[in-house]
Each structure stands twice: as structure tokens, then as C-alpha cells.
């Protein structure tokens, strides 16, 4: 019994030392600023073409000379590797299990952009613990300075994982289509991020629009309701026009910006990439800390 008590005390002491060392690392990182642009691409509703946008936007940004890293943050149903015709041997599930580091699972995508693939069909990863989230973002912090832009492809909806990766980013770009259900779910997503996580600034990208006027009308509707009921600002980022070539490319596991650079959708992606490069994020980084440490320290997700 005495031996058991001693063992328990040793374990407790070891945990306290580990916690203290982690706190010191966090404090050290608070004083380090990263110049990397961190943009979360998200949506309230699934099936709006969010992952396709991430792949094409990453390619368009890389064509402008930017070093791009794409994080597939749809951890239980990751599919950007499938969309791009890639076959990674390892993914983020191997990082979480401790088998691999993040740098060891990075694969090259079209246009020389880098991809951090997620797993597919592992339900346990759809709701990460606080420790697992910290583990992923801590490892990301070690290589974040090597890229110009980090694109986070979140899952759809309002799960804790979706919220966490959105709040971790400097900029949140909400993808919506002209469908009423997509517009309603986009509003719901921004509402939760605003009321529960104090996010006040959003960018809106309208996908599958029949025209620029159609996209502007979607923005007008959302902005009107947000102005009335939420204390947030929504910036219109642009639109991606409906293009039959996108469907062809998805079936071939290629991106339209690569196969059909002169088609309508590709021109939209190129325009969006240029707009991002010319603009500056509202906060770089958020508050007084590196891009995600503020959120960890504030324990928003306890």
C-alpha cells in the first residue's frame, strides 16, 4: 500500500513537471509572431464544394509564387487527397497516435502546394480531445514559418472540431451556394462562431453561382440578416461561377485550375487568389500571440 502511494506521488509529480514545461513553451511562443497567413475555409452545409475550392485556391496561390500548405481538418472524413488524385501512406491519424510527426506526413500536391491529409472513416477523430488539438497545433507551429499561406479545409457544420479550427485561424471564409438551405446553414455557422466564440469578422465566397449578380444577391441576403440580428461584419470575397468542367475534373481526380486554366471557374479562382494576396488580414496574428496560442491560453474549448 505504501509502495502504491509512493508510485502515485511520483506519477503526479511527473505530470506537474510536464504541465509546467508545456506552460513555459506556451509562454515562449506568445512572444513569437508568424508572418504566415492562416485562412479557414468552412461551411455550414456539406456539399457546397468547399474542398474543391480549397484545392483550386491552393493551386492558384501557388501559381502566384506563394508557398501553400493545405490542412485537411475534416479529420474523420478527409478527402482532399482523393479529390487531387493522391494516395498518402500516412495521415493525421498517425500523428495523433504518435506514430508520425506532421512533417513526416506532408505530401506534394498540384502546383507544388503541400498537403496535410486527414483520415477517412475513423469516427473517434471527429471529436478531438483538448490534448489532441494542442498536439496537432503545436506540431504545426514548428513548420508554420516555412509557408506563406496555410489553408484549413474544415468539416461542414458546427461540431467542436469545426469551431476549433475556425477560431484558430486569422481569417474565416464561409462558402455558400445560392440554395436556401446553404444560406440558412451559413448564417447558423456564423451565429455560433459569433455568440459562443466571439468571432466578429467573416468573408463570404459564393460557389456555383449562375452570375456575379446572383452571387451578390446571396451576399445581400446574408448581410441584411446579419446586420439585423448579429454583431458581425461580412466581407464579400467573390464568387466561383457554375462550370461544367468542374464535374469533369472531379471525376478525373484533377482540379479545374490545372486542366482548364481558361475556363470560367479557373478565372474565378485566379481572381480570388490575387485578391487574397493584395489584401491584408484584419488581424496578423490575432491579439498578442501567434495564430492559435491565444485560443489555447484562453481555454475557450474547455
pLDDT averaged over 10-residue windows placed end to end, the chain, 302 residues:
49 52 50 78 96 97 97 83 92 87 94 88 61 80 90 92 90 97 97 96 98 97 96 97 96 96 98 95 49 48 54
What is the CATH number for 236?
Answer: 3.40.50.300
What residues are paired with 176 via a beta bridge? 206
Residues 189 and 211 in one domain: yes
Decide: helix, strand or coil at residue 187: helix
Please tell me the predicted confidence (pLDDT) of residue 93: 84
Please tell me the predicted confidence (pLDDT) of residue 13: 56
Residues 24 and 55 in one domain: no
Residues 112 and 1 in one domain: no
Residues 95 and 241 in one domain: yes
Any idea what DSSP says for residue 146?
G
Residue-range definition of the domain harbouring residue 147:
35-298
Residues 264 and 289 in one domain: yes
CA 210, CA 297: separation in Å to the nearest integer? 44
Q: In the β-sheet with 114-116, what is the strand arrangement from edge to edge?
A: 107-108, 114-116, 68-73, 149-156, 37-43, 171-176, 201-209, 233-241
How does pLDDT run across 220-265, given as a tens digit for each residue? Answer: 999 999 999 999 999 999 999 999 999 999 999 999 999 999 999 9
Burial 208-232 (b: 16+ CB within 10 A, else e): bbeeeeebeebbeebbebbeeebeb
Q: What phi and psi values does residue 209 have, to the nearest 5 degrees?
A: -80, 145
Is the bond preceding 215 in cis, omega lying within 30 degrees of 0? no
CA 4, CA 25: separation in Å to the nearest integer? 32
In 121-271 the beta strands, taken as DSSP E runs, fall at 149-156, 171-176, 201-209, 233-241
Q: What is the dihedral of CA 205, 208, 209, 210, to 10 degrees?
A: 170
CA 201, CA 250: separation in Å to the nearest integer? 32
Residues 180 and 65 in one domain: yes
Q: How many CA atoms lie within 13 A of 238 on its CB side?
A: 15
Residues 144 and 263 in one domain: yes
Residues 2 and 83 in one domain: no
Please tell me the predicted confidence (pLDDT) of residue 300: 57
Residues 17 and 157 in one domain: no
Q: Counting every residue, how long is the chain?
A: 302
Residues 172 and 23 in one domain: no
CA 89, 93, 94, 95 torsion: positive or negative? positive
Q: How many CA atoms lie within 13 A of 237 on its CB side?
A: 31
Domain tally, the chain: 2
Question: Please, are residues 71 and 137 in contact by the beta-carbon 8 Å criterion?
Answer: no
Distance of CA 103 to the CA centre of its chain: 18
Residues 50 and 27 in one domain: no
Stated pTM of the model = 0.84
Residues 157 and 270 in one domain: yes
Amino acid at each position: 500500500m505504501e509502495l502504491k502511494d509512493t508510485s502515485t506521488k511520483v506519477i503526479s509529480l511527473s505530470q506537474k513537471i510536464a504541465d509546467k514545461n508545456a506552460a513555459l513553451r506556451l509562454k515562449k511562443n506568445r512572444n513569437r509572431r508568424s508572418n504566415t497567413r492562416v485562412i479557414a475555409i468552412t461551411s455550414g452545409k456539406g456539399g457546397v464544394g468547399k474542398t474543391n475550392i480549397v484545392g483550386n485556391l491552393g493551386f492558384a496561390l501557388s501559381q502566384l509564387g506563394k508557398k501553400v500548405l493545405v490542412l485537411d481538418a475534416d479529420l474523420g472524413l478527409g478527402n482532399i487527397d482523393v479529390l487531387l488524385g493522391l494516395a498518402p501512406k500516412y495521415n493525421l491519424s498517425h500523428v495523433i497516435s504518435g506514430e508520425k510527426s506532421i512533417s513526416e506526413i506532408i505530401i506534394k500536391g498540384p502546383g507544388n502546394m503541400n498537403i496535410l491529409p486527414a483520415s477517412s472513416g475513423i469516427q473517434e477523430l471527429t471529436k478531438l480531445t483538448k490534448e489532441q488539438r494542442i498536439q496537432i497545433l503545436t506540431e504545426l507551429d514548428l513548420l508554420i514559418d516555412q509557408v506563406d499561406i496555410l489553408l484549413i479545409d474544415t468539416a461542414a457544420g458546427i461540431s467542436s472540431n469545426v469551431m476549433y479550427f475556425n477560431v484558430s485561424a486569422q481569417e474565416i471564409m464561409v462558402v455558400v451556394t445560392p440554395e436556401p438551405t446553404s444560406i440558412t446553414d451559413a448564417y447558423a455557422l456564423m451565429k455560433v462562431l459569433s455568440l459562443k466564440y466571439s468571432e466578429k469578422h467573416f468573408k463570404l465566397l459564393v460557389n456555383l453561382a449562375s452570375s456575379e449578380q446572383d452571387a451578390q444577391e446571396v451576399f445581400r441576403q446574408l448581410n441584411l440578416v446579419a446586420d439585423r440580428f448579429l454583431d458581425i461584419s461580412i466581407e464579400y470575397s467573390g464568387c466561383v461561377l457554375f462550370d461544367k468542367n468542374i464535374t469533369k475534373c472531379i471525376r478525373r481526380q484533377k482540379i479545374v485550375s490545372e486542366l482548364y486554366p481558361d475556363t470560367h471557374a479557373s478565372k474565378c479562382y485566379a481572381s480570388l487568389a490575387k485578391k487574397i494576396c493584395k489584401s491584408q488580414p484584419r488581424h496578423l496574428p490575432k491579439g498578442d500571440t501567434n495564430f492559435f496560442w491565444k485560443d489555447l491560453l484562453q481555454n475557450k474549448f474547455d
